[in-house]
Chain A
């Protein structure tokens, strides 16, 4: 964040990588067309880049980014002659935390559904085969949303060990996913 604010485009690219899917999910609740969603996400990041100097850190970066995204989506809908629904902060938060797979407005094809299922099966299978301490560390992080410090207290180990366990868990799962991702990239 600090680097991105100083104009480092590489640092900003990491923010793009980190938040693009979350923003995509948010916008997909307002706009149906996939290419339109991508355009809005892209515009939102460009606006964020132009205005990053105005970001004072009073709120989390993603909260600030999501507000830009929602305003961009609203403007997009207005330009199409559609009336965007007014949303308050609670609704925005609800949208971000929305986790139901069935209602996400992303156009799915039978092939993409099959790919998604295969990826989910691979990840879940890999998780089950992880050593206990790695499985517990990554579950506490990803599913329970705990920070490293909380995990270290729960697992009674140093933060460095938590960091290492989470990393090793991810690498092990990513290794199992690699062939599938390569195939997926060719098909998607």
Chain B
């Protein structure tokens, strides 16, 4: 625990350890006290003036406790970005939805029509009629060209 406070004092702590420290709210007084001691040691080693210990942190935090909770701008920015993004994405999503509906409808029609045709071809049309149809139908491309030419 205290090793984490020492790391925090040096700004050499990772987010996970900060979360661990902050999760133990009952021990926050101890955290602040240790940081105060470390600051005193640091000041002496850096030959800075040793300031009388004051309850300034308590005064500041009492004043801040009266303030409404601040939601950070980054958080606001993110949330507003999200809002903007959802507005931007909305037409795209709508278009995509329309495409999906069209595609699925077309697919269903195609599938149904194919299956219906196959059904008709297999079941309803007698085989001899199909054979007659194939026999009477030209399968040579030149036939259609000639027909086209004679039509002129």
Interface residues of A (CB under 8 A from B): 2-14, 16-18, 20-21, 24-25, 38, 41-42, 45-46, 49-50, 52-56, 99, 101, 104, 106, 112, 115-116, 119-120, 123-124, 127, 138-139, 141-143, 147-148, 163-164, 166-167, 170-171, 173-174, 177, 181, 184-185, 188
Contacts and interface: CB of A to CB of B under 8 A. Distances in A.
Given A13-B28, A170-B37, 8 more contacts: A2-B15, A5-B75, A6-B75, A14-B8, A17-B39, A53-B70, A53-B73, A163-B3
A1 B132 CA distance: 86
A45 B73 contact: no
Contact of A18 (B9, B41, B43): B9
Chain B: interface secondary structure? helix
B56 A141 contact: no
A14 B44 contact: no
Q: Is the interface of A mostly helix, strand, loop or mixed?
A: helix
Contact of B60 (A46, A50, A170, A177): A46
Interface of B: 2-3, 6-10, 12, 15, 18-19, 21-22, 25, 28, 31-32, 34-54, 56-57, 59-61, 63-65, 67, 69-76
A10 B44 contact: no
B38 A16 contact: no
Nearest to B13: A163
B56 A99 contact: no
B18 A99 contact: no
17 contacts: A7-B72, A9-B64, A10-B22, A11-B22, A17-B32, A20-B57, A41-B56, A45-B60, A45-B64, A46-B64, A53-B74, A99-B46, A116-B50, A119-B50, A163-B12, A166-B6, A171-B2
A13 B31 CA distance: 10
Contacts of A124: 44
Q: Which of B44, B53, B65 has the most CB of A within 10 A?
A: B44
A168 B80 CA distance: 46
A188 B55 CA distance: 11
A6, A55, A116, A167 — most chain B CB neighbours (10 Å): A167
Interface hub of B2, B7, B35, B72 (most chain A Cβ within 10 A): B72
Closest 3 A-B residue pairs measured CB to CB?
Answer: A53-B73, A5-B72, A167-B6
A11 B32 CA distance: 11
B73 A106 contact: no
A85 to B, nearest CB: 21
A24 B15 CA distance: 28
A140 to B, nearest CB: 11
A101 B18 CA distance: 33
* Chain A CB within 10 Å, residue with most, of B21, B36, B41: B41
